[in-house]
Amino acid sequence: MMFFRNITIGQYIYRDSIIHKLDPRVKIITVILIITTIFLVNSWTGFFIIGFYLFINISLAKVHPKFVLKGIKPLLFIISFTLLIHFFTTPGDIIYRIWILNITREGIHRGLFISVRLFYLILSTSWLTLTTSPIALTDGIEKLLSFLKIIRVPAHEIAMMMTIALRFIPTLMEETEKIIKAQIARGADFESGNLVKRIQNFLPIIIPLFINAFHRADDLAIAMEARCYRGGEGRTHYRQLSINSIDHVFIIITLFILIVSYLWVV
Amino acid sequence: MFVHLKDVSYTYNLNMPFETVALKGINLKVNRGEFIGIIGHTGCGKTTLLQLLNGLIEPTKGQIFIENVDIHKNKKKLKEIRKKIGLSFQYPENQFFEENIFKEIAFGPKNMGVAEEQLVQSVKKSLQMVDMDYQSFKDRSPFSLSGGEMRRVAIASILAIDPEVIILDEPTASLDPQSCSKLLSVIVDLYQKYHKTIIMVSHNMEIMAKLARRIIVMEKGEIIMDDTPRNIFQKSIDRLEDIGLSLPQVTYTMYKLKKIGKPVSSGILTVEEAKEEILKLVNENKK
């Protein structure tokens, strides 16, 4: 009974690569830029250039493409669903007719565009999480958000909450699996019955999970206070982020490629 | 023979980059009426083995027979297996979810299809087995109990299924000495008075030496010793020390005495036996 072994979204895989060594801020900004460009680009050539660029990035990261593609699997349904919706609901030149449904040229065009956009969206975000450790990621977010401190946005606290949340995802998953197993050992059945019954069946998992999570949160808070944690004011970092020449080159190349992909209309 | 593991292996994350072998080539036979202690380091595969025995996970290789039936041949039968073999995880009180102890304990038998009228009977019986009073505990919240009581209620919730074999993973972990000895006497009762077959994992060698009739030592996913406590703590002391497992303190003391040339017998398991030996030694010296 392996319930959560197949989730790869948000997973970090360590490799000794240029991409892994990039400053997390650079990677976060890159992903934001890519996502923005994806939604601006309106030509197949542009998409092709971005796709090629993503492919290079992923191969530079030395992470097996299989892994990246695995993250897309659970979202395949959503992608194909949007594809079909666009096929049938966009008005325009009718090129094929099934029963009362019309497929239009514009529909195919827009459907494919949206699917490619979703596909790239997932690719670029998993590229980020696969190559950036959760700690580096939150450090980067904290630094990027720090200019918002002027308007009293608690950037450090937000980053700390994210770090803790990310840190406890595997722990809670492990715990869920253990609770599920323990309840199965007591004869619980999670696979049969109607909807109401099935929801009821989840109570023996959810309740202990919440109780344990609250206990854990309590313990963690006490442990942090015992070590005199009092928030972001004046706190220094063990790992100092620094942007060096590789980061500069990377961001310049990225900007160049993205601008080209946007402007290139054949 | 009740349980039979035949050449069982188990690998976590098979065919993934994080693949880890937890068990390899385990052969194990358990008969009715045994009291088996399993010892070994953290990560040696003990917990995986316990989960296999209960049919919670399927071996990646090999077969598990319970009463000569291959349990993974027919998935529908797994529930019956779990009725025969009760598994109490480490910190079993972490699975509590009901508002009172009665409901908590009745959860198991209810799932196993015990009729509503018989539930009271089975809850009563299982509370009695862990030496707790039905009337004064049934309406209390399981979360209001002390650590030791929680542990016993958790074990009662397994006993309510009326299994023939009870598997206990570190039943005494993080209990205070008093609750610990109370729980141990409950376990002894389960074995002697209620004739349950017991399979227990513990890091506490004293407990193992005192209670278990057969000890299985595991290392790196394999069974490296399977014998009576006396034989294991007599013949394999060096081997145990090599893999970093401690001996019961009395056993160790007597072993050291023998090593410095005192004529005591090795393989002493209890303080009582040690007392006899030392008295014998003192009397001989007097002569």
Which domains, ranges and CATH numbers included, belong to chain B?
A: 3-247 (3.40.50.300)
Render B147-190 in DSSP notation, one character per residue: HHHHHHHHHHHHHTT--SEEEEESTTTT--HHHHHHHHHHHHHH
Residues of A in contact with B96 (CB under 8 A): 208, 211
Q: What is the pLDDT along chain B (287 residues), one digit of tens a residue?
A: 689 999 999 998 777 667 889 999 999 999 999 999 999 988 889 999 999 998 899 999 999 999 888 988 877 778 888 899 999 999 999 999 999 999 999 999 999 989 989 999 999 999 999 999 999 999 999 999 999 999 999 999 999 999 999 999 999 999 999 999 999 999 999 999 999 999 999 988 888 988 999 999 999 999 999 999 988 888 888 888 888 888 888 888 888 888 888 888 877 888 888 898 889 888 888 87
Task: State the Cα–Cα distance between residues B141 and A161, nearest whole angstrom.
Answer: 32
Tokens of B97: 């979810």
Residue B271 confidence (pLDDT): 87
Q: Where are the domains of chain A?
A: 8-132+240-266, 147-235
Confirm if A3 and A180 have CB atoms less than 8 A apart.
yes
Residue A216: pLDDT band (50, 70, 90) is very high
Percent of chain B that is helix, strand, coil (3-state, to 5): 45, 20, 35
Residue of A186, A190, A197, A202 to mutate, testing the B interface (most B Cβ within 10 Å of its Cβ): A186
Q: Residue B63's beta-bridge partner residues?
A: B6
Of residues B51, B57, B111, nearest to A186 (C-beta): B111
Of residues A13, A187, A203, nearest to B111 (C-beta): A187
- Residue B7 is classified by DSSP as E
Judged by a CB distance cut-off of 8 A, whether residue A181 touches chain B is yes
Beta strands in chain B, from DSSP E residues, in sequence order: 3-12, 20-30, 35-40, 61-66, 69-70, 85-88, 165-169, 197-201, 214-219, 222-227
Confirm if A3 and A23 have CB atoms less than 8 A apart.
no
Q: Residue B29's beta-bridge partner residues?
A: B4
Chain B residues 4-33 with a CB less than 8 Å from chain A: 13, 16-17
Tell if the CB–CB gap between B89 and A187 is shorter than 8 Å.
Answer: no
What percent of chain A lies above the pLDDT cut of 70? 95
Residue A10: pLDDT band (50, 70, 90) is low
Residue A24 confidence (pLDDT): 94
Q: What is the pLDDT of residues A120-174, one digit of tens each?
A: 998 999 899 889 988 888 889 888 988 888 888 888 888 888 888 888 888 888 8
- Residue B73 is classified by DSSP as T
| pTM assigned to the model | 0.78
Question: What is the C-alpha radius of gyration for chain A, rounded to an integer number of angstroms?
Answer: 23
Residue A3: pLDDT band (50, 70, 90) is very low
Tell whether the torsion through CA atoms of B265, B271, B276 and B277 is positive or negative: positive
Tell if the CB–CB gap between B143 and A207 is shorter than 8 Å.
Answer: no
Of residues B13, B82, B97, nearest to A187 (C-beta): B82
Residue A1 confidence (pLDDT): 37
